[in-house]
Copies of this chain bind each other. A is one copy, B any other.
Amino acid sequence: MGAITGADFIRRLNQLDTEIWLDGKKVEGEISEHPAFKGILQTKASLYDMQHDPEIKEEMTFHSAELGEAVGISFLQPKTKEDLIKRRKASEHWARRTGGLLGRSPDYLNTALMSFASSSPLLKGRTNCFPENIQSLYEKAMKEDLSFTHSFVSPQVNRSDSYLESSEEEPIVARIVDRNEEGIIIKGARLLATQGGLTDEVLVISTPKFLLDENEAFAFSIPSDTKGLKFICRESFVGGDSLFNHPLSSRYEEMDTILVFDNVLVPWNRVFYYDNAIVAADFSFQSSFHNFTTHQVVTRQIVKSEFILGLAELLVQTINVSEYQHIQDKLSEIIIGLETMKALLEKSENDAAIDEWGVMRPDIVPLKVANNIFPKIYPRFTEIIQLIGASGMVSLPTEDAFSSPIRADLDQYLQAATKNAEGRVKIFRLAWDLTMSSFGTRQTQYERYFFGDPVRLSGRLYKAYPLDDFVKEVSDFLDLERGE
């Protein structure tokens, strides 16, 4: 089959019998018609359709010799820098369609799976490891254009450094509670599966906090409607159907869920590894996972920054404030952030190198730097939008007001320097939905925590960065002898 269409995607999803809970109710009926999900599913469908758009089909897919079919490029294992750039361009296409606002467009986890497959030889011959299961899932995913959600975070009962969940008690953090002939049994919860229940499969990778918790060390993928698996949704942030009122949440609200494993059986042929904490750590740090997913993420964040820059300038033009030095300063701050991200992404491609399994990995250092920067500049970008919009952000009428008896008042009193009232309100509502609606603030929090606790990101960068040459240079400059 290979690359699917939007209709394929919707059809398959509607056929799954996934257990999703929203606001105390189990979701019933066709999921693609549910008010909380229809917008995001239509948006995702439109991305799949781009794989068949004659104009860009060549850029969105590659011909798989094995499958004899066109396959989405995010599944491509790159062997050259050109492949890498191809991957990036396809991600840009999907990101552009959505203003970079879809944190989990399908390429994100397709990329993750591709990287797992690429690095699966790392598991060869090690205890409780099944690299062949990764490979076969990867092939199945390409063939069927499967979509995934995933979860990497454990519930945070207690964030103290010294806290340790006892394995005697009823599990909170998902762990292996049994192993039998059919597979491993998982009980407990995992946090923050974005688009949970809205994909074919759930990918779960777990690295225990302490090496001794072997039963928290596992990785697998299972269908979303596996028995005992529940998705518990937060409140929906869809503001309504009106594109005028809620131009973003009506289309891009992805939903976040808590994953509950109620003694879920993961069959052996779906297990990547289990009960091996060393392998779990190795797979996290030595596989190409971080390289490739970060490459995709940074690509998307750049497109999102461009979208914000365009919006900021549109606001500036609308109310005619480009002459103010502080406004110029704010716009240039976005430009500087954007260009910095672009330069870092490009450097990661320039410095890409073939890894031991023949795959062209983007260099991790500039990507890590980008990961330290974006969680700080994105919230600042949203603040800049708010500072440009100023008090204009808090008195925005709705679509229906424009088709009511007071339209003439709105037309007269809300007109702007370069736009009529309706245009101005559209622009300001977009600014509001991006930065001040419940949808928008969740986006901000999402970008802030995408790569984990920002406080720790900088420590990780420092610890991994090669400093010896620089220290030596200064030591030589000072003629420091041994012991000095």
List the interface of chain A (C-beta within 8 A of B). Answer: 21, 23-26, 96, 99, 153, 155-161, 163, 170, 172, 188-189, 191-192, 230, 232-235, 245, 247, 256-258, 260, 262, 306-307, 309-311, 313-314, 317, 319-321, 323-326, 328-329, 331-333, 335-336, 339-340, 342-344, 346-347, 350, 365-366, 369, 372-373, 379, 383, 386-387, 390-406, 409-410, 412-417, 419-420, 422-423, 426-427, 430, 435-438, 440-442, 444-446, 448-449, 453, 455, 458-459, 461-463, 465, 467, 469-475, 477-478, 480-481, 483-484
- Please give me the residue from chain B that is nearest to A376 by CB atom: B336
- Please give me the residue from chain B that is nearest to A247 by CB atom: B478
Bound CA span A351–B482, Å: 45
Contact in complex: A191, B350 (CB < 8 Å): no
Contact in complex: A323, B462 (CB < 8 Å): no
Contact in complex: A347, B336 (CB < 8 Å): no
Closest chain-B Cβ to A257's Cβ sits at a distance in Å of 7
| Known interface pairs A247-B478, A342-B347, A484-B422; A310-B413 also in contact (CB < 8 Å) | no
Which of B256, B401, B427, B474 meets A395, CB within 8 Å? B256
Which of B191, B391, B415, B437 meets A445, CB within 8 Å? B391
Query: Contacts of A436 on B, CB cut-off 8 Å?
Result: 438, 441-442, 445
| Known interface pairs A333-B458, A406-B230, A470-B307; A159-B391 also in contact (CB < 8 Å) | no
Query: Contacts of A448 on B, CB cut-off 8 Å?
Result: 386-387
Contact in complex: A391, B442 (CB < 8 Å): no
Query: Contacts of A159 on B, CB cut-off 8 Å?
Result: 319-321, 417
Contact in complex: A158, B416 (CB < 8 Å): yes
Closest chain-B Cβ to A417's Cβ sits at a distance in Å of 4
Bound CA span A446–B448, Å: 24
Bound CA span A397–B256, Å: 10
- Please give me the residue from chain B that is nearest to A414 by CB atom: B155
Query: Contacts of A474 on B, CB cut-off 8 Å?
Result: 99, 307, 310-311, 314, 430
Bound CA span A310–B481, Å: 16
Closest chain-B Cβ to A169's Cβ sits at a distance in Å of 10
Query: Contacts of A321 on B, CB cut-off 8 Å?
Result: 159-160
Contact in complex: B350, A393 (CB < 8 Å): no
Q: A230-B409, A339-B344 are in contact. List 4 more A-B contacts (CB 8 A).
A: A189-B413, A314-B471, A328-B458, A438-B438
Bound CA span A416–B172, Å: 11
Query: Contacts of A426 on B, CB cut-off 8 Å?
Result: 478, 480, 484
Contact in complex: B314, A339 (CB < 8 Å): no
Contact in complex: A396, B234 (CB < 8 Å): yes
- Please give me the residue from chain B that is nearest to A235 by CB atom: B398
Contact in complex: A96, B473 (CB < 8 Å): yes
Which 4 residue pairs across A and B have the least CB separation, nearest first? A423-B484, A310-B470, A24-B400, A24-B404
